[in-house]
Chain A
Amino acid sequence: MLPPGVNAKDFADALKQFEGAAGKQWVFTSDEDVALYRDAYSPFWGEPEERVASAAVAPGKVEEVQAVMKIANEYRIPVYPISTGKNLGYGGSAPNLSGSVVLDLKRMNRILDVSERNHSALVEPGVSYFDLYRYIQEHKLKVWVDVPDPGWGSPVGNSLDHGGGYLQPMYRNHFDSHCGMEVVLANGEVMRTGMGAMPGAETWQQYKFGYGPWVDGMFSQSNFGVVTKMGFWLMPEPDAYLTGTVTVPKYEDLIAMIDILTFLENSGVSNGMPGLGSPILGGFMMPPRAPEVTALLEKNGVASPELHKYAQDKGVPFWSCTVKFYGPAKAIRAQWEYAQEKFSAIPGAKFKDDEFYKFPLTPDQFDKVHKPEMGIPSLEMFSIGARSPFNPTPGNGHIWFSPIIPRTGEAVLEANKVFAQAAKDFGLPLLSFSLPTTYWMRAFIFLFGFPITHDVATNKKNRENFKQIVRVAAEHGWGEYRTAPAFQDEVMNTYSFNNHALRRFHETVKDAVDPNGIISAGRYGIWPKHLRGTKA
């Protein structure tokens, strides 16, 4: 395969020069090697439209990245930078534009600094969460890195893709927790942001903004440069961790429960990632749903008065919220007590103490805990997808439909109503009721996994379903926070205020900073001028 618009001789010459820049052994052109960059969860798996690379080059240091960019510019070779390429469900390591050369940054795996005093780190893109965690453990540092689940990816890649984790809010929003970056621009020039722009500054990982416009956000979910270093704030190891659960009896109590939770989080009283549940509806980490509940739910949905009466008659709470706290043991016990006072405003609210740990964990505790909530990377997530009574027919993978919705009980109920109707109308594989996740403090995200198979007809149907639900969500003002390359154009189209002013601004920037359009063409719906309108 050739990159689009590049002839065989130029491609061969460019590859030869890539070998000169990065080393012959770090340029991959065989079908067997290039196939490793396929997206294992591609919704186009095995179809002509599947996005695949033409080759890959793996530079080991920033000077080699600079050299590769200059060569790519000279020959107009589209390149697609990846860190570790393991964000399965959101595209993996496959490019948006077939024929791109993957710029694999995995060899750039140096941990440049971890400061226990400043609670920060500076790493290259090829450093994985496991690498950083190992470094912290080996050096016995009292800091935690906020990890996603699964944790085999890269802090740089995950944060640039707006990934999230499980610790305190300022850490579990991974892009928010970054502080300073180094970027190789399309012309090969190196730029540092924030205080990194000032020679001799010792505050690159302390103060994000530096001076003038803060441009870091322009390198996330974009294609304006190649990030080669990134600073992160780490969480000081807390003294203790406590979780407690509140249950409330009535369907309509969801609204007050979420309002109180939001107050507690925005006040800094509750600082772990809360978990919403429904004891009556059951589900993940909940008791199994009673057959009578399933019947009522299927008949009239979650708003069914019969379902509400059933819950009250059985004395089963309708909703639950697990509230989590990191901090000094005395303080978090008092915070939990205060949280209970606030939730007691809901008649019938009940409370249960759950986990309490002092750090470091004992070996028994270590085995028992949900690792990411302790800053420990894990791959356990992949075993949950295995066949089980709850998942009798696991697919080959999934893609995430993940809209942002307002952080209110009303919005949760409304979104469920809308998605349940869409599921009926289009035959979508959505659950009859879902609760949002709470990665971010100020908004909710729904996460729905759409199955990926290796069957062309099934994938085609699922792709159409996915587009339908993106459209339905957008009609209600609920936009995706992140999506796989196959749908990035569709999602960008939904951010259409004032005749797509935002996308047009992205395109203006793209044309200015990457006039030949060589970096990640099409990523997040930003196409270079010469391809604009032909792909989107």
Chain B
Amino acid sequence: MHGIRGDITDLWFHDLDAQWKKQPVAIAGLTAHGPLFCLERLAWDHGMRVVSRVEQGSRDQDCEPLIAWVIDLKKAPKERA
């Protein structure tokens, strides 16, 4: 469980980057579009995709719509570099 306030740097640098370099693992989150935009692109580099994306109808502290999402390996591991 990792809370963020718009900025994913800490989550990326201290958790996901090292973990995904060892082995891609699925993650799920509830964030605004901005953090998901970054995480999705970083996930692509490890052969992962956003496999579920559902707008929640609620908003974050900046009034951004919240999205529930899951990032996972879409298929047999064919990494994009």
A interface list, Cβ under 8 A from B: 25-26, 28, 32-33, 36, 40, 56, 58, 84, 86, 104-107, 126, 130, 134, 152, 371, 377-380, 382-383, 385-388
Does B41 lie within 8 Å of A86, measured CB to CB?
A: yes
Does B5 lie within 8 Å of A106, measured CB to CB?
A: no
Does B38 lie within 8 Å of A382, measured CB to CB?
A: yes
Does B34 lie within 8 Å of A383, measured CB to CB?
A: yes
Chain A neighbourhood of B35, CB < 8 A: 382-383
Nearest CB of chain A from residue B12's CB, rounded to whole Å: 6
Given the contacts A106-B81, A130-B12, A380-B7, A385 and B34 also touching, CB distance less than 8 Å: yes
Does A25 lie within 8 Å of B79, measured CB to CB?
A: yes
Q: Which residue of the partner chain, among B32, B42, B80, contacts A33 with CB atoms under 8 Å?
A: B80
Given the contacts A385-B34, A387-B64, A388-B62, A25 and B78 also touching, CB distance less than 8 Å: yes
Q: What are 12 A-B pairs with beta-carbon distances under 8 A? A: A40-B37, A56-B80, A58-B80, A104-B81, A152-B42, A371-B9, A379-B7, A379-B9, A382-B7, A382-B38, A387-B63, A388-B62
Nearest CB of chain A from residue B76's CB, rounded to whole Å: 10
A40-B41, A379-B12, A383-B7 are known; give 18 further A-B pairs, CB within 8 A.
A33-B78, A36-B44, A84-B45, A106-B45, A107-B81, A130-B17, A134-B17, A371-B9, A377-B9, A377-B13, A379-B7, A379-B8, A380-B9, A383-B5, A383-B6, A383-B34, A383-B35, A386-B62
Given the contacts A382-B7, A383-B5, A58 and B41 also touching, CB distance less than 8 Å: no
**Chain B interface residue bracket vs A:** 20 to 34
Chain B neighbourhood of A32, CB < 8 A: 74
- Bound complex: CA A190 to CA B34 (Å): 41
- Bound complex: CA A361 to CA B78 (Å): 41
Chain A neighbourhood of B78, CB < 8 A: 25, 33
- The contact string, 1 if C-beta is below 8 Å from chain A, for chain B 44-81, is 11000000000000000011100000000010001111
Does A386 lie within 8 Å of B38, measured CB to CB?
A: no
Does B13 lie within 8 Å of A134, measured CB to CB?
A: yes
Nearest CB of chain A from residue B33's CB, rounded to whole Å: 8
Chain B neighbourhood of A382, CB < 8 A: 6-8, 34-35, 37-38
- Bound complex: CA A113 to CA B65 (Å): 44
Chain A neighbourhood of B64, CB < 8 A: 386-387
- Bound complex: CA A107 to CA B78 (Å): 13
> 7 tightest A-B contacts by CB?
A383-B6, A106-B81, A58-B81, A380-B7, A383-B7, A379-B9, A107-B81
Chain A neighbourhood of B8, CB < 8 A: 379, 382
Q: Quick one: closest B residue to A58, CB to CB?
A: B81
- Bound complex: CA A105 to CA B1 (Å): 33
Does A386 lie within 8 Å of B80, measured CB to CB?
A: no
Chain A neighbourhood of B38, CB < 8 A: 152, 379, 382
Chain B neighbourhood of A106, CB < 8 A: 45, 80-81
Does A36 lie within 8 Å of B80, measured CB to CB?
A: yes
Does B81 lie within 8 Å of A378, measured CB to CB?
A: no
Chain B CB count within 10 A is highest, among A36, A126, A377, A386, for A386
Chain B neighbourhood of A152, CB < 8 A: 38, 41-42
Chain A CB count within 10 A is highest, among B33, B41, B44, B80, for B80
Chain A neighbourhood of B17, CB < 8 A: 130, 134
Chain A neighbourhood of B45, CB < 8 A: 84, 106
- Bound complex: CA A383 to CA B34 (Å): 6
- Bound complex: CA A107 to CA B81 (Å): 5
- Bound complex: CA A249 to CA B4 (Å): 41
- The contact string, 1 if C-beta is below 8 Å from chain A, for chain B 1-41, is 00001111100110001000000000000001111011001
Chain A neighbourhood of B9, CB < 8 A: 371, 377-380
- Bound complex: CA A107 to CA B79 (Å): 10
Nearest CB of chain A from residue B15's CB, rounded to whole Å: 13
Does A386 lie within 8 Å of B6, measured CB to CB?
A: yes
Given the contacts A36-B44, A378-B9, A386 and B32 also touching, CB distance less than 8 Å: yes
Chain A neighbourhood of B34, CB < 8 A: 382-383, 385-386
- Bound complex: CA A84 to CA B5 (Å): 26
- Bound complex: CA A107 to CA B74 (Å): 20
Chain B neighbourhood of A379, CB < 8 A: 7-9, 12, 38
Q: Quick one: closest A residue to B18, CB to CB?
A: A134
- Bound complex: CA A387 to CA B63 (Å): 7
